[in-house]
Amino acid sequence: MMNFLKLGSRPRKAPPSVLGLSWEGRRIEGSLLRRTQNGIEKTLGFQAELSLDIDSGDPETVGKELRAQLDQAGIRERTCAVALSVSSLLVTQTEIPVLADADAHSLLQLEAEKGFHGDASTHQVAHSRCVRGEGSQWVTLAALTQSRLASLERWTRSARLKLVSVSATLCELQPPENPASEGVLALHLGSGPGPVTLQLSAGGGLVALRSFEGVTEDASGQPVLHADSVAREIRITLGQLPDPWNGSIRDVRIFGPQDLAQTLAAELSTRLSVAGFRIRPQTTEVPGLASSQELPISAVVAARVLASRPATLEFLPPKPSVLQQFLARHAQGQRRTVWTVAGGVAVLVALAFLIQQIQLSLLESRWAGLSSKVRELERIQQDLRQFRPWTPQSARGLAILEVLTSAFPENGSVTAKVIEIRESGEVVCSGTATDSPAFLAMTARLSALPGVLKVHHDQSRGASPMQFNLTFVWNGGMAR
């Protein structure tokens, strides 16, 4: 089964000092924070560019290079917390009713298995729940592949570090506020050319979390902003939000280098001011830490661990307790205890069977009185299933699904995750593909089908596999 984590990080005693780490590609930066009588103090920090990409390089080599950088900076602390880029995560959303925690976690387990393609054991999943009305909750699910988590643990061990937290970058900079607070749209520009991260928080949790290309590098090596692309992605994301957030979030906060953040804030204001957006660059602040300059993300994540605050999205699995480790270590060789326990279990099983037979007899008596009503309800449901597909709206939906099915390859190289059919005839389809050629071949087949107009590829993320989002207009009428 998929390892599913509750909201927040693992309960543990806060260490006296923590090394925070964050990176983009080969660039890595760290901050060492220590708890003092007056609050929190940043003692050491470093920035470096490694010879290998941390996400794809050999973990042992990456760990040795990182250890060399830490030694050069004079950092001896072993406890570390890592903030991941959102671009390295898979993210989906779902809606569930208000349930008890145990039932909600079981339901979210099923939703995560449906939302993330691939074997369920290959993902580590965290989630954030938002209050949406009285009877429902909006849930953002984020998954980190087990292979990437294992690589992360390997290179931290190789660097002689003890990993205590793995969280998401932008969630550290702008954690969700209480459910009664106004929603916030946060943007993070990173430390240089690369993807822009967008986060929407409202109702006490995450409403949306994604990344897209918006900052590039010009010929001279300077970062260049594409404000039109960023504004477009903001409009698309807000347009896809459910009620009540699709028209209420107007507070936009921009994190990143001050020159880039201020430039983007000015350009977005000219493009979005008509819609009533309040756009401003946001300075990174850490409670209890006085600083005269912009703080890196590594300092924010280290301060959170020092303050024993839970992460919004935590991907490090819970550590077994000392008692569990002791029992596992000393289970072998205790044969006498095992046989005694086995005998007690056998007696309990026999007693359980007896109780079960009594309960079955009582339930059969109750069923005899309810069976006629149940059969009548089953007959009504069968009629509904028989005649519902032939209503006009459903027939159009069947025709669209038939066209999409014929365009997708039978080998499963391209799969759909979400299909939205709007009243205007616009169809939005998102999913995953093994690679770009398979996706392009599918879009070519779709464009050639009758009744399909204006096939447009909105966005994609990743290479192999890649996540895509495309739209087209259906002009084929009802089913044949």
Say which residue the tokens 């929407």 belong to. Answer: 200
Q: Which residues in 203-335 belong to E strands, given as ranges?
A: 205-217, 223-225, 251-255, 278-281
CA–CA distances in Å: residue 180 to residues 131, 177, 245:
9, 8, 13
- pTM value is 0.62
Can you give the pLDDT at residue 19?
92
Q: pLDDT (tens digit, 9 = 90+) per residue, 458-479? A: 777 777 788 888 888 888 755 4
Domains 1-174+285-319 and 392-474 share a fold: no
**pLDDT tens digits along 25-38:** 788 889 999 988 87
Low-confidence stretches of the chain (pLDDT beneath 50):
1, 5-11, 479-480
The neighbour count for residue 60, using CB atoms within 10 Å, is 13
In this structure, the number of other CB atoms found within 10 A of the CB of residue 115 comes to: 19
Q: How far apart are CA 79 and CA 306, in angstroms?
A: 11
The tokens describing 431, both together, are 């999913």
- 3-class DSSP state for residue 83? strand
CB atoms < 10 A from the CB of 449, how many? 15
CATH number of 176-281: 3.30.420.40
By CB atoms closer than 10 A (0-12, 13-18, 19+), residue 222 is exposed
Domain boundaries, the chain: 1-174+285-319, 176-281, 336-388, 392-474
CA contacts within 13 A on the Cβ side of 86: 28
The letter for the amino acid at 67 is R
Q: Which CATH class is domain 1-174+285-319?
A: alpha beta
Distance CA 76, CA 33 (A): 12
pLDDT at position 423 is: 81
CB 370, CB 451: distance < 8 Å: no
- Contact between 30 and 45 under an 8 Å Cβ cutoff? The reply is yes
Residue 12 is encoded by which pair of tokens? 């543990």
- CATH topology classification for 392-474: Gyrase A; domain 2 (3.30.1360)
Contacts 24+ apart (CB under 8 A), 408-415: 408/442, 409/438, 409/441, 409/442, 413/438, 414/438, 414/439, 414/442, 415/117
Position 80 scores a pLDDT of 92
Instruction: Report pLDDT for 442.
Output: 85
